[in-house]
Amino acid sequence: MEFSLKPSTLKMSPTSFCMLVVFAISSFPMMESRDVNSTGQANIEYMSLNCRKHTAVLTEFGAVGDGKTSNTKAFKEAITKLAPKAADGGVLLIVPPGNWLTGSFNLTSHFTLFIQKGATILASQDESEYPVVAPLPSYGQGRDAAGPTFASLISGANLTDVVITGNNGTINGQGKYWWVKYRSGGFKSITRPYTIEIMFSQDVQISNITIIDSPAWNIHPVYCNNVIVKGVTILAPIDSPNTDGINPDSCTNTLIEDCYVVSGDDCIAVKSGWDQFGIKVGMPTQQLSIRRLTCISPDSAGIALGSEMSGGIKDVRIEDITLLQTQSAIRIKTAVGRGGYVKDIFARRFTMKTMKYIFWMSGAYNQHPVSGYDPKAMPEITNINYRDMTADNVTQPARLDGLENDPFTKICMSNINIALAAEPKKLLWNCTNISGVSSKVTPKACSLLPEKGAPVDCAFPVDKIPIESVVLKKCSA
């Protein structure tokens, strides 16, 4: 996660930014759906992990979609009253067209929150609408400050079979209030709310919605198994602080596909806990597939691995990625004291345009909890494979900074063609404390990544992780 608010070195005009957003959103297929009919009964079709026996509409619980009336009580009452039905075949709760102002609320198991086209869930800017909760055990404190956090707008813990979907309905985090207060130092002892955070859960689906202007991170599944994030559009100003797009954190068996992210931070940030807290919890992120992502993030990465990686990150497959006006393609972030590992990373088929870096590895990302991290806890970075990539208008192909006495090893790069910007860095490959090989890379890689003998292709697994074989069901209500 990037905390720097320095002006971007990659400039984008408002006109070009809007054109990129419109083009990318229009290229994604929308979920088939029909509006609520004149009788108020839902008549929709959608793809889901599981279909639901029961259906309800938010207005049945007193909600008012005028954008001014708080509907926190209505959301909570709906979910509480529907929970018994959720246990009896599952429940679909429809958010119909309108502007539905709300604070934080918690989901339940065997439950689908369906946000219709023309519906917007508006996040309240009233801090009292967000309960204060303890920090995550693998972090030990909030990410903005040493202390607790505000509950996320849409939360859930210890759930099974929970779905947030729609036909491109919107969640508006109304983040400006939170960004301004954060930048002025207003959060000295508490961390801003995220938009969606699902914890300690299994069989999670987030699909076919748009999230705009999150106060901080957008989608944060943490300590979860079997997660699908699909067909999601995330939009935030490119200078908004810490608006990471999708952050799988200490999760196993996760699929992220067909998403479009414009962010002030990393479009995807893979995490697993922070320093001594992450080491103690020891829950890695593993079996992660990321494919068909389009990302714009001038001050951050398309995909970041870390910096909170103390529980470990392994078996990550990344493919068919488009990056535009983005600071770096893949960035590995770690530091002395992190412990953990980043290993068995496989990436291929990237198309990139206007990038500061393509490959970036940082061994000195020195952000730590207030106290107590172990300076002897060294991270392991090994078996990192990049292949089949093209890039235009690049300032510097690579900045690869391992750690002294703890080098990053087994780095492989093959079949990579990088066209430089008009005024590139003089040192194209800046490499220290790393080792590996390269093959068919232009411009030629640094001497620490030598070519060895006949051309080779870096590894990419031929098997699938289990979640990639899951077929969503066609449901109707």
Q: What SS3 class is residue 279?
A: helix
Percent of the chain at pLDDT exceeding 90: 90
Buried b / exposed e along 438-471 (16+ C-beta atoms within 10 A): bbebebebbebbeeeeeebebebeeeebebeeee
Q: Per residue in 115-173, pLDDT tens?
A: 999 999 999 999 999 999 999 999 999 999 999 999 999 999 999 999 999 999 999 99
Claim: this prediction has a pTM higher than 0.75? yes
Q: What SS3 class is residue 425?
A: coil
Contact 437, 446 (CB under 8 A): no
Q: Per residue in 181-212, pLDDT tens?
A: 999 999 999 999 999 999 999 999 999 999 99
Q: Does pLDDT of 332 surpass 70? A: yes
Going by C-alpha positions, the residue among 99, 219, 208, 110 that lies closest to residue 159 is: 110
Q: Does pLDDT of 389 surpass 90? A: yes
Residue written as token pair 């992220």: 256
Q: And the tokens for 337?
A: 């004291």
CA 125 from centre of chain: 23
- Bridge-based pairing of strands 225-230 and 252-262 is parallel
pLDDT of residue 371: 82
pLDDT of residue 370: 84
**Residue in 265, 275, 299, 315 annotated catalytic:** 265
Q: And the tokens for 36?
A: 């609520």
Q: Does pLDDT of 238 surpass 90? A: yes
Going by C-alpha positions, the residue among 76, 65, 212, 67 that lies closest to residue 131 is: 76
pLDDT of residue 23: 45
Which of the two residues, 4 and 342, has the higher pLDDT score? 342
Q: Does pLDDT of 320 surpass 70? A: yes
pLDDT of residue 98: 98
Q: Per residue in 360-369, pLDDT tens?
A: 999 999 999 9
Average pLDDT over residues 423-433: 98
Q: Does pLDDT of 465 surpass 70? A: yes
Among 6-15, 325-334, 403-412, 430-439, the range scoring the smallest mean pLDDT is 6-15
Q: And the tokens for 78?
A: 């709906």
Cα–Cα distance measured from residue 335 to residue 379, given in angstroms and rounded to the nearest whole number: 7
| 265 in active site | yes
Gap between the terminal Cα atoms of the chain: 40
